[in-house]
Amino acid sequence: MQAPSSLVLDRALDVLAGRPLVALTGAGLSTDSGIPDYRGPGSPLRRPMTYGDFVSGPVAQRRYWARSHVGWARMRRAAPNPGHHALAELERRGTLRGLITQNVDGLHEEAGSRELIDLHGRISDVICLSCKEITSRAVLQERFERANPGFADSVGPEIETAPDGDVILERTEGFRLVGCTRCDGPLKPDVVFFGENVPKDRVERAYAMVDALVPVDGALLVAGSSLTVMSGLRFVKHAAKQAVPVVIVNRGETRGDPYAILRLHEGCSEVLSALAGAAPAVAAGAPIPQWRDLAP
């Protein structure tokens, strides 16, 4: 991991030093954990399954779950990288007041982040489309293994892993699905697919987290997101409208660049680790409004 130049870090600290922060993270933060992203420099064109595809019926669901069954074994071995740990450290010091992540890998929580909104859900949870019961992905993995003995072992390591934890696997017609243990309904990972709306309460909580920066002269730190979809971009636009400074750390251009006062074309692990190493704890003073107090 190469440290960012002192000039880059100085520019970031000039903007961020002494300010309470909220972070908005995307797939680029998890690439150093071995999880590929969708739109980073050099990433191949990927066509993830949409919500409409998934709910179309068993054929699409079989394709998704066969790929996910193989990919899950790889994804659950991923560990938090220095960028995740740096954000958790900034939270422990009182500098980072909240974190909104577009990632579904659960690595922020594993690293120790607690004031966290999983905007798109968690790949480790499964929801029944019929009765809405939430169950564990790890338990489902065991059920799939019993229903499809040897399936995952038959797929070679050369098969490419996709960003959401599945693999690029073409032959899936022999994979056997299992249903909800309560009602036998179809199961879906409890994550927001392309074409699916983020639950309203999560969006409102995330807006409140950004709004809590206004009275304390805080800043929004974007790390590892191209902000291509409105799901994350809306919070950048909202911050800028509220005169909250926006700093973006990402390799490659983002749709949020016009709203940022500082743009760092650097790796997340490098910049966030440097910030955590250089930023002191926020000095004690008047009580600081918490985002939870502002949530509807």
> Residue 264 is encoded by which pair of tokens?
């760092």
Specify the DSSP element, H or E, that contains 136. strand 134-136
First-to-last alpha carbon distance for the chain, in angstroms, is 41
Residue 249 and residue 276 in contact, taking contact as beta carbons nearer than 8 Å? no
pLDDT of res. 167:
62
| DSSP code at position 170 | -
What's the confidence (pLDDT) of residue 258?
97
pTM: 0.88
pLDDT for 135: 97
**Among candidate residues 12, 43, 292, 286, the one with its CA nearest the CA of residue 163:** 43
**C-beta neighbour count of 168 within 10 angstroms:** 13
Write down the pLDDT at residue 84. Answer: 98
CA 50, chain centre distance (Å): 18
Specify the pLDDT at position 97: 96
User: What residues are annotated to the active site?
Assistant: 120
pLDDT in 10s for each residue of the chain, 296 residues: 566 767 777 888 888 888 999 999 999 999 999 887 765 555 555 567 899 999 999 999 999 999 899 888 777 888 999 999 999 999 999 999 999 999 999 999 999 999 999 999 999 999 999 999 999 999 999 999 999 998 877 775 556 566 566 666 767 888 999 999 999 999 999 999 999 999 999 999 999 999 999 999 999 999 999 999 999 999 999 999 999 999 999 999 999 999 999 999 999 999 999 999 876 654 333 344 454 554 44
In Å, how far are 38, 64, 146, 174, 192 from 195, measured between CA atoms?
Answer: 16, 16, 32, 27, 8
State residue 77's pLDDT score.
83
**Fold held by 6-294:** Rossmann fold (3.40.50)
pLDDT of residue 177: 97
Say what the pLDDT of residue 115 is: 96
Domain ranges of the chain: 6-294
